[in-house]
Structure 1
Amino acid sequence: MKEQRILGALYGQALGDALGMPSELWPRARVKAHFGWIDRFLPGPAENTAACYFGRAEFTDDTSMALCLADALIECDGNIVPDVIGRHILKWAQGFDAFNKNVLGPTSKIALNAIRDGKPVRELENNGVTNGAAMRVSPLGCMLPTGDLDAFIDAVALASSPTHKSDLAVAGAVVIAWAVSRAVDGAGWQEIVDALPAVARHAQEKRITTFSASLALRIELAIKTVREANGVESACEQLYQLVGAGTSTLESVACAVALVDLAGTDPNRCAILCANLGGDTDTIGAMATAICGALHGIAGINPEFKQELDAVNQLDFQRYAAALLHFRQQREAVC
């Protein structure tokens, strides 16, 4: 059963990413005017400078980097080695010509340039607050048990460090990874979401490096916003206007958590809501739908969506799921 949930998390990541790709980084009003309503895979519009490189059902850097993380974990037999993670991400970026395309976030671009110049990860500052660590973290959530929160936070921080070391970026990655991991264990959404603010607070305050506002409070605001809204459209509009749907971890992670709640944890509905939100749609979709996928397992993913993702991207998620489950079981046996 855990393997099915891990598979659901990986497919959820890819689904939310690919469905949200065409509208990424566009204002909500422009998304509505251009697309009307997105409920299927679409190619990136030529006029979208972030999405124009991608065809129908192709995922973006979010899932590509998540697979880089998974590949690095597999190469190191389940151990988290920052320089190996950085090497895998850099290899993808060079292969995709990402440095010359509008796909890398500012924090990741600076870090990867330094890695390319031979600087070891431990010497990088990487104090940016964007969401590059949280967007790729779902495979780590699949692998890490949650029994020891401090150890969990340290592991996520280590895996995030090639590009992001700030308190906020790490806390955002911890929130997504922890939600995925608890879902893989079979915990229900209400139990998970009730605990997330405390998890976020502990992670953000463990090693303070910024003057950021509280991710815990932003998550609480986001959940309150969708639960008190008058319908789905009103909830999405208020999330966009009040919580924010930008590339900051503070906005996008809180927004992703709230969209899991708004979608009733249905991964297909969640991916569609994220795609139509406006802002960082692909990243919010990747994070939120990974959680939904972990909650429902691969059976919760629309078979037509899955089939198209497989056909276009030539996915072998079964191999990743088996490896991540094996590493998780090894860690659980030690705990």
Structure 2
Amino acid sequence: MRLNKNNMDISNLRDKILGVFYGVAIGDAMGMPTTFLSRSEIKNKFGFVNDFLTAPMEGSVHSRLVRGEYTDDTELTYMIADSIISKGFVDPEDVAKNLVKWADDNDILNTTLIGPSTRMAIKNLKSGVSYKITGKNGTTNGCAMKISSIGIFDLFSDNEKTVNDVINACLCTHNTAVAISGGAAIAFAVKSAASGNKSLSEIYDASLLGSDLGAKFMGEPEKSISSRIAGAYNIAKSTSSIDSFLDSLYDFLLKPDGALTEDAVPAAISIFLKSGGNFENAILMACNLGGDSDTIGGMVGAISGAYNGLARIPEKWVKTIDESARRDIRELGGKFLNAMQI
């Protein structure tokens, strides 16, 4: 049964919200140790990653993170959720204030944990630059990586509101057409998956629609990444084995050692579709791909978590996240549910 305001089951909605919040964390933490390794490096070093690992001690952006520990991808997803809980809507000014507070509380500018667009935005915000312009050069995948809470928050909203909420959530860091295109693609996929939609093709179509609308609302429809999403999906359809799929998808990436929106978002959607909706398979493919694997894993986890709900996520993985989490994720989910004002 598809969720809508007339037939909504609160316990089912809570399960979907927690599926998203745990899914992001699991995919992020599972992909954390392999981030920016190549496909061949992962195979040579690990064979096939099938569980949480500790990050390499040296030579990694996540050096010294422990097994099951998530990164900025999850932290910023929760940051946006906290802002929504506080304000009751997506307030770009409040998001910017929360971003700076998070950075200060965690001494983020003295770490390697954040991407270039977010780093520059934080520096400019701290210098007094308006949140309305600090994201004007942000084209990397930092919008898409933190946007999944918008997909679930706008579950019963129209497409226009969802795109505008994506824009407002990312305004201070990623106020560009390509970033919003990618963020809207993920938000629309999460929204479709959380609706109770069991048709993978409809979730795929939703991602294409979000991508096109995101770029259109930014006034640059030609910057839509929908063609890249379609190209990645074609790889999922044309390859038989998981190994050949991941090899081909890695070759598809334009800049595996970067953090491109037009790489991470298509890869995440392709992996989810290739998994057939199976949460465990989707996460394992994401963390074995290579490239920006924590971000790709987080986005895959968000879509698959929305699709499956917490009840169908492996309990052992949920327990690992709970043991390393910096907050009570179930409490966050409960507050978020209340903020939706159903």
Residue 333 of structure 1 is matched in structure 2 by none
1:11 aligns with 2:22: yes
1:205 aligns with 2:216: yes
Contact 2:215 2:221 (C-alpha < 8 Å) held by counterparts? no
Residue 173 of structure 2 is matched in structure 1 by 163
Q: Which runs of 5+ in 2 are unaligned?
A: 1-11
Once the two structures are superposed, residues 158-177 of structure 1 have per-residue CA deviations (whole angstroms, 9 ceiling, x without a partner) of 11112111011111111111
Measured in 1, the distance between the counterparts of 2:40 and 2:118 equals 28
Match among 195, 208, 221 for residue 206 of structure 2: 195
Amino acid at match of 1:226: A
Measured in 2, the distance between the counterparts of 1:90 and 1:278 equals 30
Residue 300 of structure 2 is matched in structure 1 by 288
Amino acid at match of 1:149: N
Question: Structure 1 length normalisation: TM-score?
Answer: 0.93
Deviation at 1:302, TM superposition (A): 0.7
Measured in 2, the distance between the counterparts of 1:37 and 1:105 equals 27
> How many equivalent pairs are there?
328
Residue 21 of structure 1 is matched in structure 2 by 32
Match among 62, 78, 81 for residue 73 of structure 2: 62
Residue 111 of structure 1 is matched in structure 2 by 121
Deviates more, 1:26-35 or 1:284-293: 26-35
1:140 aligns with 2:150: yes
Contact 2:133 2:172 (C-alpha < 8 Å) held by counterparts? no
- 1:122 is paired with a residue whose SS is coil
Deviation at 1:35, TM superposition (A): 1.8
Residue 35 of structure 1 is matched in structure 2 by 46
Residue 7 of structure 2 is matched in structure 1 by none
Match among 237, 246, 251 for residue 247 of structure 2: 237
Contact 2:186 2:207 (C-alpha < 8 Å) held by counterparts? no
Measured in 2, the distance between the counterparts of 1:265 and 1:169 equals 25
Match among 72, 77, 92 for residue 83 of structure 2: 72
- 2:240 is paired with a residue whose SS is coil
Measured in 1, the distance between the counterparts of 2:210 and 2:326 equals 36
- 1:276 is paired with a residue whose SS is helix
Q: Which runs of 5+ in 1 are unaligned?
A: 331-335
Measured in 1, the distance between the counterparts of 2:220 and 2:114 equals 23
Measured in 2, the distance between the counterparts of 1:93 and 1:159 equals 16
Question: Structure 2 length normalisation: TM-score?
Answer: 0.91
Contact 1:13 1:290 (C-alpha < 8 Å) held by counterparts? yes
Amino acid at match of 1:294: A
What's the % identity of the aligned pairs? 30
1:275-314 alignment, distance < 5 Å: 275-314=287-326
Deviation at 1:57, TM superposition (A): 0.3
Residue 261 of structure 2 is matched in structure 1 by 249
Amino acid at match of 2:100: L
- Residues 210 and 127 (structure 1), Cα distance of their counterparts in 2 relative to 1, 3 Å cut: farther
Deviation at 1:209, TM superposition (A): 5.3
